Amino acid sequence: MAEGKRLKSAYAGIDRNKFYSLADAVKVIKAGAVAKFDETVEIALNLGVDPRHADQMVRGVVELPHGTGKTVRVAVFAKGDKAEEARKAGADIIGADDLFEIVNGGTMDFDRCIATPDMMGLVGRLGKVLGPRGLMPNPKLGTVTANVTEAIRAAKAGQVQFRVEKAGIVHAGIGKASFAEDKLAENVKAFVDAINKAKPQGAKGTYLKKVSLSSTMGPGVKLEIASIGA
């Protein structure tokens, strides 16, 4: 009952039919995030693409200027000097055949998976395990690389991977409700800019159709696309 009252109260201050400017939307989202934990602020974009067609797939990575506020656990598949480099760079889990056995057994206590190129013969066999969870290392996303130090730094700093879903929707966490309003707004703009830069050649008509913000437990608000600078 208390949860229902809280949601009702949060929705009471929102016009569900209104398109808010980015600045106003951030204010509303922060005001509605009254849970007992630091809620994640999430963005959802409806794109004019059909990802069933290869030339309309939207996928990429963006490093948010103010991070996500989330502690990211990084696993690295590497051997020898590269394993030591990963250790010095702050990787949480490092291994090769031993890590393969752990992951293949269904234990994935990490948020990002990085692999050196020489390890992909091994890691490739984990496609059915890592793929569905969006954890499969990919050179286009910078997670198959010899520069493990930079890949770990980026992951820890708040790098966000994105991929359009079947209905043409992309969503991601872009910060925490405790973030200052200007920092949330800058993260939103950076994320939308990355989506625009990832526009596929096959996209026809209006590409960025709708953008909305919400918090983990709070209501969503629709954004004026023009206010994002898109």
pLDDT beneath 50: ranges in the chain? 1
Q: What dihedral do alpha carbons 93, 96, 99, 105 form, nearest 10°?
A: 160
Q: What is the pLDDT of residues 31-76, one digit of tens each?
A: 888 888 999 999 999 999 999 998 999 999 999 999 999 999 999 9
Position 11 scores a pLDDT of 60
Position 1 scores a pLDDT of 39
Q: What is the pLDDT of residues 117-131, one digit of tens each?
A: 999 999 999 999 999
Query: Is 110 strand, coil or helix?
Result: coil
Position 169 scores a pLDDT of 95
Q: Where are the beta strands (DSSP E) in 48-110?
A: 59-63, 74-77, 93-95
Q: Where are the beta strands (DSSP E) in 125-203?
A: 159-163, 169-176
- Provide DSSP, 3-37: HHHHHHHHHHT--TTPEEPHHHHHHHHHHH--SSS
